[in-house]
Chains A and B, each alone.
Chain A
Amino acid sequence: MVHAKARSNTRVILIYSAVAVLLLIMVTLYIGRGVTTTNAAYYLSRRLPKVTAMILAAGGTGIAALVFQTVTGNRLLTPSVMGIDALFVLLQTVVVALSGAEAVILTNPHLGFVVSVVLMVVFASTLLRVLFTRQQDGGGMTRVLLAGVVMGILFRSVSGFVQMVIDPNEFTVVQDNIFASVNNVSAPVIPLAAPIMAAAALIIIMHHRVLDAIALGRDQAVALGVNYSRKVGLLITAATVLVASATAMVGPLPFMGLVASNIVRHSMTSWRHRTMVFAVTITGVAILMGVELVRDFTGSVIPLGTAIKFMGGITFLALLLRGEQ
């Protein structure tokens, strides 16, 4: 039995390494396609930020989903289920409605990014910390989940209402901002987002053993000396920073984190977060890159978010139907 497990683990790690190599090739393909000495400067200035944004957004969303699931002990819970995407849409809508399409928060990419990220992080981490730390017995998680879902519905209906009443031209601006796209990523945001996201990811990676203990459940973690409310608060905040930055950069990517983390949890025999964080980053990037490449080569007009939702839905259904092995 030891050997069986060791062998299958090696196999899975091999597969992930192969995917990583494949990704490298894909990235090279993507960046290098049609580049000649004369157009290199232009092509690279367009494509490098795009690829960087894809890696940051996909990796960040995947890691954030993994952390959320471990902390909540629920494999279906991700920041986007908790209404973070809906909050982003609401923010964009309200800003346009209140100050018009020319609002400085929309035209200045740095300011827009910082304001969106700060608001999303403050909202989500406050809500989650309050819910997590106040309710320490069994009913807690159901309440967190319910609160998040209800909050998401509220945000969506308020956004929907505001979008109905604003000027149609302004509505087009809103629509541009709330659809996920790696083409609208403004290059100046990346040097701002990259270090923030790297720091948040580093905090999570440094806590990989604490995450392993938290995965045993709250009581076990406390009994093993984990300062539960402090560590959970920190990890949730770091995960929120990741997903908020990703959303502010490329737009909402619902399903993305859910699918990436569940593919990892299903395919890996390892439960250690050291391995899973690595795998979920690769899986996330592979999904986003794959979908984007297919769209690019086929000249598809389907929006990125929709394509991911479609593909993610099918993958997720397949995972559910296949069940635990």
Chain B
Amino acid sequence: MIDIDQIVKRYGTVDVLKGVSMEFRLGTLTALIGANGSGKSTLLSAVGRLVPHEDGVVNVAGEPLTRWDTRSLAQRLAVLRQSPGVDLRLTVEELVEFGRFPHNKGVLTDDDRAAVERAIRYLDLGAIRHASIHTLSGGQKQRAFIAMVIAQDTDYILLDEPLNNLDMRHAGRIMAVLTTLAHRDGRAVVVVLHDINMAAAYADYIVALRDGTVVHAGDIDSTMQESVMERVFGVAFPVVQVGHRPFCIYHMAPQDDPAAQEDPVDRNPVVEACC
């Protein structure tokens, strides 16, 4: 279990996380949602020890983050930041093999190869496994990085916006794989998601952040309420029932359009003739 207690993260004088507490249990998939700048990515990076936090405690498997040796932690916890880039000319397969680095320090064993094969299959990368990363589209690159994280084979998997750049088919497939990893293999999967309908369709729990504090945490039904959504995102939109799942129709939220309230800009000013 990952247990977060009153964590504070400050950039300069701005508190990005103002004493956030929550827990991520093994066997569950938790979605972090919130508007831009709500602190969800920072929270994920702090829990994954990619950025230090100023105050509070993060316990991973009962041990505070600061006491973990970084390599031992990498064998238990995998973290992927949003849209990672890489400047190397490596192939998809070689990138996925890096996921085994915490276990083997770079020398592949048969077990490592099996884990790499599994990750490549889960992420549907077989056809492009020998393609160079820098020739891929944004979505293909994203899937290659997720495969690397899955090859790392950890109890805790933290992903920041894993569905960025992905088409519908691959987005759904990745969420299904993550659900299986959580429910069948008993891992704790935490994903920052932009699309709340994806969260509602696949997650067990949703944690909603706003301005660096948790405004709501609970299961799907308690979260997918119009009142909760308005508190989280600051706009009101209808939540309907599609099949057995709640569904947000955020495209139909009443918008205040500042452009429409202004006087039109004269784009063809008449140049007064001089002389």
Residues of A within 8 A of B (CB): 1-2, 5, 73, 136-137, 209, 212-213, 215-217, 219-220, 222-228, 269, 271
| Distance A45 CA – B86 CA, assembled complex (angstroms) | 49
Interface residues of B in 73-98 (CB under 8 A from A): 73-75, 78-81, 84-91, 98
Q: Return chain B residues, CB-CB under 8 Å to A225.
A: 70-75, 101-102
- Interface pair B130/A223, CB less than 8 Å apart: no
Contact among A73, A223, A269 with B80 in the assembled complex (CB-CB below 8 Å): A223
Q: Return chain A residues, CB-CB under 8 Å to B70.
A: 222, 225-228
- Interface pair B50/A224, CB less than 8 Å apart: no
- Interface pair B89/A269, CB less than 8 Å apart: yes
Q: Return chain A residues, CB-CB under 8 Å to B69.
A: 227
Within 8 Å of chain A (Cβ to Cβ): is B48?
yes
- Interface pair A215/B73, CB less than 8 Å apart: no
Closest B residue to A208 using CB positions: B106
Return 13 A-B CB contacts under 8 Å, by A number.
Answer: A2-B130, A5-B91, A136-B51, A209-B106, A215-B88, A217-B87, A220-B86, A222-B49, A223-B50, A223-B78, A224-B102, A228-B70, A269-B89
Known: A223-B78, A223-B79, A224-B98. A216 touches B88 (CB 8 A): yes
| Distance A231 CA – B184 CA, assembled complex (angstroms) | 37
Q: Return chain A residues, CB-CB under 8 Å to B166.
A: none
Q: Return chain B residues, CB-CB under 8 Å to A137.
A: 51
Known: A136-B51, A219-B81. A224 touches B89 (CB 8 A): no
- Interface pair B87/A73, CB less than 8 Å apart: yes
Closest A residue to B74 using CB positions: A225
| Distance A212 CA – B101 CA, assembled complex (angstroms) | 10
Within 8 Å of chain A (Cβ to Cβ): is B131?
yes
- What is the CB-to-nearest-CB distance from B147 to chain A, in angstroms, rounded to a whole number? 14
Q: Return chain B residues, CB-CB under 8 Å to A228.
A: 70
B130-144 toward A: CB 8 Å interface, digit per residue (1/0)? 111000000000000
Q: Return chain B residues, CB-CB under 8 Å to A224.
A: 74, 98-99, 101-102, 152
Contact among B48, B79, B86 with A216 in the assembled complex (CB-CB below 8 Å): B86
- Interface pair B50/A219, CB less than 8 Å apart: yes
- What is the CB-to-nearest-CB distance from A151 to chain B, in angstroms, rounded to a whole number? 26
Within 8 Å of chain A (Cβ to Cβ): is B169?
no
Known: A212-B106, A225-B74, A271-B90. A220 touches B84 (CB 8 A): yes
| Distance A220 CA – B45 CA, assembled complex (angstroms) | 12
- Scoring A216, A227, A269 by chain B CB atoms within 10 A of each residue's CB, the highest score goes to A216
- What is the CB-to-nearest-CB distance from A206 to chain B, in angstroms, rounded to a whole number? 11
Contact among B50, B75, B89, B107 with A222 in the assembled complex (CB-CB below 8 Å): B50
Contact among B71, B78, B81, B152 with A227 in the assembled complex (CB-CB below 8 Å): B71
- Interface pair A271/B88, CB less than 8 Å apart: yes
Within 8 Å of chain A (Cβ to Cβ): is B105?
yes
Contact among B71, B85, B130 with A5 in the assembled complex (CB-CB below 8 Å): B130
| Distance A224 CA – B98 CA, assembled complex (angstroms) | 8
Closest B residue to A227 using CB positions: B70
Q: Return chain A residues, CB-CB under 8 Å to B101.
A: 209, 213, 224-226
Q: Return chain A residues, CB-CB under 8 Å to B131.
A: 1
Known: A222-B70, A223-B80, A225-B74. A215 touches B102 (CB 8 A): no
- What is the CB-to-nearest-CB distance from A73 to chain B, in angstroms, rounded to a whole number? 7
Q: Return chain B residues, CB-CB under 8 Å to A212.
A: 98, 106
- Interface pair B105/A209, CB less than 8 Å apart: yes
- What is the CB-to-nearest-CB distance from A2 to chain B, in angstroms, rounded to a whole number? 5
Q: Return chain A residues, CB-CB under 8 Å to B45.
A: 219
Closest A residue to B91 using CB positions: A5
| Distance A73 CA – B84 CA, assembled complex (angstroms) | 14
Closest B residue to A213 using CB positions: B101
Closest A residue to B72 using CB positions: A225
- Interface pair A217/B106, CB less than 8 Å apart: no
Q: Return chain A residues, CB-CB under 8 Å to B71.
A: 225-227
Closest B residue to A2 using CB positions: B130
Interface residues of B in 34-84 (CB under 8 A from A): 45, 48-52, 69-75, 78-81, 84
